[in-house]
Amino acid sequence: MQKTTFRISKMDCPSEEQMIRMKLGDMTNIKSLDFDIPNRQLTVFHTENYDLIFQKLDDLRFDTTVIESKEAVNYSTATENTDRERKLLWAVLIINVSFFVIEMVTGIIADSMGLVADSLDMLADGIVYGLALFAVGGTIALKKNIARFAGYFQILLATIGFSEVVRRFVGIEKMPDFMTMIVVSIFALIANAVCLYLLQKGKSKEAHMQASMIFTSNDIIINLGVMVAGGLVFWTESIYPDLIVGIIVFLIVGRGALRILKLSK
């Protein structure tokens, strides 16, 4: 039995952990995975060489490097609690899909492209957690088919959103409701923090969240960006801060869609 530790620089939230689990899910030589998100490390217990494992991780473009590989001493296979994993995934899936709807509706009402873009980022995470649910006891073929559909659907939405931002840049649009942007983003930030807590609490000896888990999360950085954009809309009396953050988030959503499509290959 070998123990190989990888550093994955762009693994900064649980949705990326689920993508990695799905990417490696069909490898029979892997016995268990130990994720350390705050330190961006993954320890894999496996047989045979780690080259194929590294190749699959590298395909995700999460900036993966090998820290060390050595023989595992006193290794014992841990029994996974599938029911508990399903409940956690259902919880974070419901939270993300709910806030996708909330942010999409309020974004349209408030004329905020930042909120609309953030809603798609929530949907992207929801897709990943949904795919992970199918991966728990599901077939690889089904997972890949759903990943392909979800990835293209997400790209379509991101393209439509990006086009709308460009249209608003060149047209005359009314000011977005900065207060709605800030308030809804605060609740979305809380929702993301709850998701992080739910998915990480069982992996630590302590029940509380480590601060580094929260502040290195892309999702929470996006929430803060929308809040800042709301403040700048009020301060500058301009629609451009909202449009700029919208462009950034749509690009992030598009990149996430490409990662999801990689899971279908």
- Residue 76 domain-assigned? no
In the chain, the amino acid numbered 262 is: K
Q: Which of 237, 110, 108, 201 is nearest to 161 (CA)?
A: 108
**Average pLDDT taken over every residue of the chain:** 81
Same domain, 138 and 231: yes
Is residue 189 in some structural domain?
Answer: yes
pLDDT in tens, 199-227: 776 554 433 334 334 444 667 888 888 99
Q: Which of 28, 49, 71 is the last residue of a domain?
A: 71
Same-domain status, 64 and 115: no
Q: Based on the domain organization, do 116 and 60 belong to the same domain?
A: no
Q: Each residue of 116-167: pLDDT tens digit?
A: 999 988 888 888 788 777 765 555 666 677 778 878 888 888 888 888 888 8
Q: Give the tens place of pLDDT for each residue, 107-120.
A: 999 999 999 999 98
| pTM to 2 decimal places | 0.70
The DSSP string of 37-63 is: TTTTEEEEEESS-SHHHHHHHHHTTS-
Is 24 within 8 Å of 102 (Cβ atoms)? no
**Containing structural domain, residue 24:** 2-71
Q: Which residues of 155-164 are buried (b: 16+ CB within 10 A; e: fewer)?
A: bebbeebbeb
What integer pLDDT is reported at residue 133 of this predicted model?
A: 76
Q: Are 61 and 90 within one domain? A: no
Residues 139 and 230 in one domain: yes
**Does one domain contain both 12 and 113?**
no
Residue pLDDT, tens place only, 178-188: 999 999 999 99
